[in-house]
């Protein structure tokens, strides 16, 4: 309903604007043509004035009104033939108090007398011609609607267009490789221990993001259990016959191998690395005690584990 009302209002505004502009234009044209025709009329009457028997009350001259009327009719016939908007009504001797500023009356001044020309200007507009601005208003309104609709659809398309799927980190137990889903040609090999530990770290941090994993403390039992489970999966897949590694030993070495592999994987997408990258410890003493190698912003859906 709101859209229909807006369309009606916009159409009304277009029609009103075009009608106002057309009326203003037509009025100016009428006034211009009337002014030109009136100047032509005044010139013609001024040339014929000496031959016209116009009554002169001041000199007690009655004149010949019939002849003057006939002259007026002849002038009007000429004006009509030229489609003039001016109609000559009367030619008479001007009284001393008459002013040339009186509307629809023109005073011709000669050396010895003043003559008043009374006229009428047809300022009416052709009603049929007003179909033109209405038609143009509809055309302009249609173009406006088309542009508005196109712009609206473009905005909707931009807002509804699904974001390009971000690359995921793929952890493949079948090949013991990690790579980005957007670049499956660059496979980085990882040893059994760091691969299993990293997958376990992602799964553990997904549900325990608040736990601080300090490298100077023991690895949580739950994290070790998850890592052992993935190592057993490697055994099932036929990749190893060795006994389970101790995931608590050489933790910094394991993390270094993981970081090195991630550095290679995220060479072309460094902006994505921070989510997957186990933070390094900076500083010594009390600051190192606050350090955590946990992945605080990761979800298990951010990775794709093949061969689980």
User: pLDDT tens, position by position, for the chain (308 residues)?
Assistant: 457 788 888 888 989 999 999 999 999 998 998 999 999 998 998 888 888 888 877 677 777 889 999 999 999 999 999 989 899 999 888 764 454 444 688 888 876 778 888 999 988 888 888 899 899 989 988 888 888 787 777 776 666 555 557 788 999 988 989 999 888 788 999 888 999 999 999 999 988 878 888 888 888 999 899 999 999 888 888 876 677 788 888 888 999 999 999 999 988 888 888 889 998 876 554 446 667 888 888 888 889 999 88
Q: Determine the Cα–Cα distance for residues 172 and 184; give it in Å rounded to an integer.
A: 11
Which of 234, 224, 187, 189 has the alpha carbon at shortest distance from 203? Answer: 224
The domains of the chain are located at 2-128, 169-306
Q: How far does the chain reach from its first CA to its final CA, in angstroms?
A: 55
The packing angle between helices 192-207 and 221-236, to 10°, is: 130
Residue labelled with tokens 């002013």: 99
C-alpha dist (Å) from residue 172 to 22, 176, 231, 274: 76, 5, 13, 21
pLDDT at site 170? 92
- Residue 293: name the closest of 282, 304, 285 by CA: 282
Spatial distance between the Cα atoms of 281 and 50, rounded to a whole number of angstroms: 117
Asked if 192 contacts 245 with a C-beta cutoff of 8 angstroms, the reply is yes
Whether residue 113 contacts residue 56, with contact meaning beta carbons closer than 8 Å, is answered with yes
Give buried/exposed letters for 34-50 (b at 16+ CB in 10 A, else e): beebbeebbeebeeeee
pLDDT for 52 equals 85
Q: Give the Cα separation of 295 and 205 in Å (integer).
A: 6
pLDDT of residue 5: 82
Question: Is the separation of the CB atoms in 206 and 298 below 8 Å?
Answer: yes
Nearest to 132 by CA among 219, 19, 301: 19
User: Which residue carries 């609607």 as its tokens?
Assistant: 145
């Amino acid at each position: 309903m709101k859209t229909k009302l807006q369309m009606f209002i916009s159409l009304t505004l277009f029609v009103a604007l075009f009608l106002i502009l057309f009326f203003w234009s037509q009025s100016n044209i009428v006034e211009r043509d009337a002014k030109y025709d009136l100047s032509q009329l005044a010139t013609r009457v001024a040339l014929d004035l000496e031959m016209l028997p116009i009554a002169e009350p001041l000199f007690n001259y009655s004149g010949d009104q019939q002849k003057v009327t006939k002259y007026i009719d002849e002038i009007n016939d000429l004006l009509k033939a030229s489609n003039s908007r001016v109609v000559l009504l009367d030619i008479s001797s001007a009284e001393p108090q008459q002013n040339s500023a009186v509307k629809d009356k023109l005073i011709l001044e000669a050396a010895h007398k003043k003559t008043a020309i009374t006229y009428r200007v047809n300022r009416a507009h052709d009603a049929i011609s007003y179909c033109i601005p209405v038609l143009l208003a509809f055309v302009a309104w249609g173009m406006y609607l088309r542009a508005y609709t196109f712009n609206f659809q473009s905005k909707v398309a931009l807002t509804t267009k699904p974001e390009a799927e971000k690359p995921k980190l793929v952890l493949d137990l079948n090949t013991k490789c990690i790579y980005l889903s957007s670049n499956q040609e660059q496979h980085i090999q990882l040893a059994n221990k760091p691969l299993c530990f990293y997958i376990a770290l992602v799964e553990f941090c997904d549900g325990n993001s608040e736990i601080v994993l300090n490298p100077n403390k023991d690895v949580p039992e739950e994290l070790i259990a998850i890592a052992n489970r993935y190592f057993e999966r490697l055994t099932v897949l036929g990749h190893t016959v060795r006994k389970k590694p101790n995931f608590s030993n050489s933790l910094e070495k394991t993390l270094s191998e993981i970081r090195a592999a991630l550095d290679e994987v995220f060479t072309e997408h460094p902006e994505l690395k921070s989510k997957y990258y186990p933070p390094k410890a900076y500083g010594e003493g009390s600051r190192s005690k606050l350090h955590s190698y946990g992945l605080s912003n990761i979800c298990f859906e951010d990775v794709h584990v093949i061969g689980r």
